[in-house]
Amino acid sequence: MRNPLAAISGHVELAWTQSSEEDVKKQLTQAIAEIDRLTRLTSDLMWLSESREIRKEWCDIQPLVEKAWSAIQTEAQKNLTLDMALHDDRIYADPDRFEQILINLFKNAAEAVLSEGVLKVRVRQDEKAHCVVIEDDGPGIPDE
């Protein structure tokens, strides 16, 4: 939550010191975008902190991935492609919570991608567990 707050602070400070009206509008537009991001993060945290009953059931992974993908596509406002390598994989989970986890991971990956990119979703499994892998082709995290 600190990243959006720092970004908002920086944009507002720059807007305050800028002399050009166009620059001020640009900085305030970026600040508003960060406020929206912080609002989404807060909503996600509140959703996760709710003490709801966990309703586990066997569910197909692919429809949950597709629903989560649909939920973030318009919000991302980027040219993103989903590359799925899912078969008839099923998991024992709460479908609502699992979908929310996927939405959060997709949002994070979409933020890492520049203007267009590919998000890959794969499932690895062994005798004991499934591992859902989400990869993006963004620049990655700097070593710093």
Question: What are the residue ranges of helices labelled H in the chain?
Answer: 2-17, 21-49, 61-76, 95-112
pLDDT at 32 over 70: yes
Was domain 57-136 assigned CATH 3.10.180.10?
Answer: no
Q: What is the pLDDT of residues 48-103, one digit of tens each?
A: 777 667 889 999 988 998 898 888 876 666 777 888 887 778 889 999 889 988 88
pLDDT of residue 59: 92
**Token pair recorded at residue 17:** 């010191």
Q: Is the pTM of this model over 0.75?
A: no
The domain ranges of the chain are 2-49, 57-136
Q: Is the pLDDT of residue 3 over 80?
A: no
